[in-house]
Amino acid sequence: MIARQERGLSELYRDDPERADAVVLGRRGVLKGASLSALGVALGAAIPFGRYLPTGMVPVAMAQAKGPVFLDFPGKDKGLVVLGDRPLVAETPEHLLNDDTTPVSKFFVRNNGQIPDQSTAGDAWTIRIDGDVTKPLELKLGEIKQRFQARSHRMVLECGGNGRSFFTPPGRGNQWTNGGAGCAEWTGVPLRDVLTAAGLKPSAKFTGSYGSDVHLSGDTAKNVISRGNPIAKSMEEHTMIVWAMNGQPLENIHGGPVRLLVPGWPGSLSTKWLNRVQVRETPHDGAGMGGTSYRVPVTPIVPGSTNDGKSFRDLESMPVRGIITNPGNGTRLAAGTRDLPLRGAAWDGDVGVGQVDVSIDFGQTWQKTTMAAPTNRYDWVRWTHAVKLPSDGYFELWVRATDKNGVAQPIVAPNWNPQGYGANPINRIAVLVG
């Protein structure tokens, strides 16, 4: 018998998953008999593979966020979900990432301060290159376009906190699911060409970059965020100063007229409204560097514990991630549907995606997908696969990406840290047949 419940199962799973398991699964932690039927009633359908549902795992259909707030911003898709309004932050639900190249209208928004109105600056915008260089430069954007060879690459830009909401307990900050990422075509020049023109000194080991966004306090003397990376990453050919996105001038909301683009590493390194690059002998010490900022534990720490970050390392290459972009989570299919085509994307930091697999039975078995070749390094991999559903009912579709070093997405977000970086558990969506 199932114990009397003061709350519905959906509320119980959302608010107290352990109690929900106790009610539905009982002490054995296995769905069977009346318990399985009760969960099926709560979900609105039979669960063909319900016996494999892991203990403690909230069914996707019961784990939906309360009432998302949708973005209302000129030129942006109405389906983007607002995570914060001061500063403005909005993510792109997985089903809106179904394009090979993410349209600007569907691209996520991440700000750290007030958005400066630089929409009319154009080619007059100035960028300074200084520090450990032999010839400090001050170049207008128009000069950069004329002096250096432009190129275009389709590359993923991903927020370092993408996946933060999957940690337990939650990390501090915007509660991203998988929507803090997008893959656009970026046009600009390699940062290394400009740094080479400035003449790197032997002491040049790191860079730090600055933008012109204004601190939320309004204090113009405070840097909102100023991050940096080792010189090797700055000299990589795909690290670029960019002024166009999908063939159009870079919009102000995305850092226009010019920004830095550091693919494969946390998006906070891709400075918007770029106005200065400083070459340094020592690691950059700007706002957003050190402590627990964009840093993860070298060895695991107790989830929920406090830590000053002294034993942490900078988050550099982003972990592998795969998502299902079609069908969308919560899709209802006609009774009798047995063939279900899937489509999605997978990406990582510096290593590359080696394989993408899907499961329809809560991870008991996995099926290999077909992956399309990326157009260049740091492009995401588009994958497709068709699954056979054995019956009507409630199904969870899982996707797991594996990088070329054999490191796969975990079932549960690993390496908890106070600010919630690097969470990349498998993507799960729910569909209802019949």
Q: Read off the CATH number of the domain in which 326 is found.
A: 2.60.40.650
* Number of folded domains that form the chain: 3
Cβ(234)–Cβ(207) below 8 Å = yes
Residue 163: which CATH number?
Answer: 3.90.420.10
Tell me how far apart the alpha carbons of residues 113 and 294 are, in angstroms, rounded to a whole number. Answer: 17
The pLDDT assigned to 320 comes to 98
Last residue within a domain, chosen from 314, 334, 365: 314
Cβ(323)–Cβ(424) below 8 Å = no
The pLDDT assigned to 54 comes to 84
State whether 144 and 277 are in the same domain. yes
Tell me how far apart the alpha carbons of residues 17 and 40 are, in angstroms, rounded to a whole number. Answer: 17
The token pair that represents 238 in the structure block: 């795909």
User: How buried is 193 (Cβ within 10 angstroms: 0-12 exposed, 13-18 middle, 19+ buried)?
Assistant: middle
pTM recorded for the entire structure: 0.92
DSSP summary character for residue 104: G
* Angle between the N-to-C axes of helices 17-24 and 33-43, in degrees from 0 to 180, rounded to the nearest 10: 130
pLDDT along the chain (434 residues), means of 10: 38 51 46 61 83 82 78 97 96 98 98 90 96 98 98 98 96 96 98 98 98 93 95 98 98 97 98 98 97 96 92 97 97 97 98 98 98 98 98 97 98 96 97 95
> Which pairing describes strands 126-131 and 274-280: parallel, antiparallel, or unpaired?
parallel
E strands of 300-412, at which residues? Answer: 312-314, 321-326, 331-333, 339-347, 353-359, 367-368, 370-371, 381-388, 393-403
State whether 366 and 428 are in the same domain. yes
State whether 143 and 175 are in the same domain. yes
The pLDDT assigned to 144 comes to 98
Strand pairing partners for 242? 188, 259
State whether 147 and 52 are in the same domain. no
State whether 31 and 93 are in the same domain. no
- Nearest to residue 9, comparing CAs of 19, 100, 349, 145? 19
State whether 50 and 192 are in the same domain. no
Cβ(18)–Cβ(4) below 8 Å = no
State whether 117 and 135 are in the same domain. yes
Is position 261 within any domain?
yes
Domain enclosing residue 37, as ranges:
9-62
Q: Hey, what amino acid is at 39?
A: L
Following CA atoms 412, 414, 419, 422 in sequence, which dihedral angle do they give, to the nearest 10 degrees?
-100
The pLDDT assigned to 120 comes to 83
State whether 304 and 326 are in the same domain. no
The token pair that represents 47 in the structure block: 């669960």
Three-state DSSP state, 268:
helix
State whether 54 and 125 are in the same domain. no
Is position 389 within any domain?
yes
State whether 48 and 159 are in the same domain. no
Residue entry with tokens 């060409």: 193
DSSP summary character for residue 318: P
Is position 81 within any domain?
no
